[in-house]
Structure 1
Amino acid sequence: MKTESLKIKVYKSLRLDIVSGKLAGGTRITETAVADSLNVSRTPVREALQKLSQERLLISIPKAGYMVENLSDNEIQDLFTTRMEIEQIAIQKAIKYITAEELKNLDDNLEQTKASIKSGENFKITELDIEFHSIIYKAARNKSLFRVCKNLSDLTIKYRHGLNLVPNLWNELLQQHILIYQALISKDREKTAQAIALHARHAKSHLMDIMKKVRSDTFSREDFY
């Protein structure tokens, strides 16, 4: 139990430093350096680094440790813009092919998101956000398009975690997911395009504002937990 708690503590500490920008993009991280800085053994550090790598918050470098992805603000904006432009294509195809079961999965996702917002499970909310969009990618019935969408989604995970710094934003983003879901049910192409575009604008705008506040130390460390 003590080892498990230590692993979680190391994981949260590193995740905070990555999402907040304290560990800048391009920073190389090794098990030994982290273990020494936190005064812990290498085992919980190794497990934490592996988990962060699986979550795409770190890039694994064979025989050289890990590295924090290095993107400028403009590159981050370009990444989100490209992702949402590709999603416009995916969702228009999804209107035609989405099944009743997939619509039910979206509805279940919205209910789980509401519950997670209420209980303050920030990391779970991010996972559900990713799942919501993934259901739409699959509904497009295009394997090549799915791979492109999934890759772009994975590249944005680090920055989507940053939205957890302002929990109130999740209620706004949930409402936007509801609009997307309703548009898919109605099979209204114009409303669907408008809903996904609104979602893209708000997510990108909020994210860049958060990044500026983080860099100016507006947030306290407790905001990340």
Structure 2
Amino acid sequence: MNGEIELLQAVQREPVVKHVHRELRRAILQGRFAVQSRLVETAIAKLLNVSRTPVREAISKLELEGLVRRLPGGGVVVEDTSSKLSEVIVLRQSLEGAAARLICMRASDAELAAFRAECQSILKALPTMAVQQRANLDRKFHLHLGELSASTRLANLIEEFYEYSDSELAPAGNAAEVVQLQKQHVAIADALVARDAARAEAAIRDHLETVLTIVRARVQA
């Protein structure tokens, strides 16, 4: 019985841990915590209005991701994340490239046609869209690749790594850059409709390289 109670408590706690983990990860990647600054469980728990337990579990997840480090004498400090973005892009290229190969084998013609039509429609509507709307649609595009692959495990990984990088890869305000990125979405969709896996994978790789270049230029400006 005790084991069942503990399991139920863990399941109920998981959404809170996920929320705390996401908020802390976003704050670290956005630079709201200085490198080598300490993460204090009690302060974070008070800030997020949660108990210390989910904060402790969230920090353990951040440690596994290499975003924080435990000190020998106790305590946790924020690591330098400047090199993490390139690493995440490489992983996303591999994951979304794998999705493209599966999509070409598994998705129906109707699904692919609808996917391309939506990408084309978004391209036409871009000038009237707010930044947050563009960000939401970008997220939808990349997660849709996972869904179309018909692989739950791959879809979950694509979502995980998208969430990992979304705070740094938010669409830029530059209109020309936004149009360029959406045209690349259309190019990816075109390759998928043609069931050309190699072209789709190359288009995904080029797209994410472009995103990385834009973000780096923005940081250096």
Q: Which TM class, normalised by the smaller chain length?
A: 0.5 to 0.7
Structure 1 unmatched runs, 5+: 1-17, 34-45, 50-59, 214-225
In 2: Cα distance, 1:20 partner to 1:144 partner: 25
8 Å contact from structure 1 (residues 109, 128) kept in 2: no
**Aligned position for 1:216:** none
**How much does 1:186 deviate?**
0.8
Q: 1:61 to 1:179 in 2, by over 3 A?
A: farther
Q: Which digits, 9 at most, give the CA deviation of each residue in 1:4-57, with x for residues without a partner? A: xxxxxxxxxxxxxx6995624677686988xxxxxxxxxxxx8xx9xxxxxxxx
In 2: Cα distance, 1:184 partner to 1:112 partner: 17
Q: Does 1:95 align with 2:104?
A: yes
**Aligned position for 1:23:** 32
Q: Which digits, 9 at most, give the CA deviation of each residue in 1:175-221, with x for residues without a partner? A: 111111110111112211221121121111111221222xxxxxxxx
Number of matched residues? 173
8 Å contact from structure 2 (residues 188, 203) kept in 1: yes
**How much does 1:116 deviate?**
4.6
| Letter aligned with residue 155 of structure 2 | F
Give the secondary structure class of the aligned counterpart of 1:72: coil
Q: 1:192 to 1:111 in 2, by over 3 A?
A: closer
Give the secondary structure class of the aligned counterpart of 1:160: coil
Q: Which digits, 9 at most, give the CA deviation of each residue in 1:102-133, with x for residues without a partner? A: 22442343245225521141111111111112
**Aligned position for 1:153:** 162
Q: 1:20 to 1:85 in 2, by over 3 A?
A: closer
**Aligned position for 2:130:** 121
8 Å contact from structure 1 (residues 90, 145) kept in 2: yes
Q: Does 1:169 align with 2:188?
A: no
Q: Does 1:202 align with 2:210?
A: yes
8 Å contact from structure 2 (residues 104, 195) kept in 1: yes
**Aligned position for 1:130:** 139
Give the secondary structure class of the aligned counterpart of 1:155: helix
In 2: Cα distance, 1:167 partner to 1:73 partner: 26
| Letter aligned with residue 136 of structure 1 | L
Structure 2 unmatched runs, 5+: 1-26, 68-77
Q: 1:99 to 1:92 in 2, by over 3 A?
A: same
In 2: Cα distance, 1:120 partner to 1:180 partner: 21
**Aligned position for 1:212:** 220
Q: 1:79 to 1:63 in 2, by over 3 A?
A: closer
In 2: Cα distance, 1:154 partner to 1:98 partner: 24
**How much does 1:73 deviate?**
2.0
Question: TM-score of the superposition, structure 2-length normalised?
Answer: 0.64
8 Å contact from structure 1 (residues 126, 160) kept in 2: no
Q: 1:164 to 1:106 in 2, by over 3 A?
A: same
| Letter aligned with residue 132 of structure 1 | F
In 2: Cα distance, 1:80 partner to 1:95 partner: 22
In 2: Cα distance, 1:101 partner to 1:25 partner: 49
8 Å contact from structure 2 (residues 29, 167) kept in 1: no
Q: What percent of counterpart residues are identical?
A: 12
Question: Does 194-203 or 19-28 show the bigger shift?
Answer: 19-28
8 Å contact from structure 2 (residues 115, 189) kept in 1: yes
RMSD: 3.5
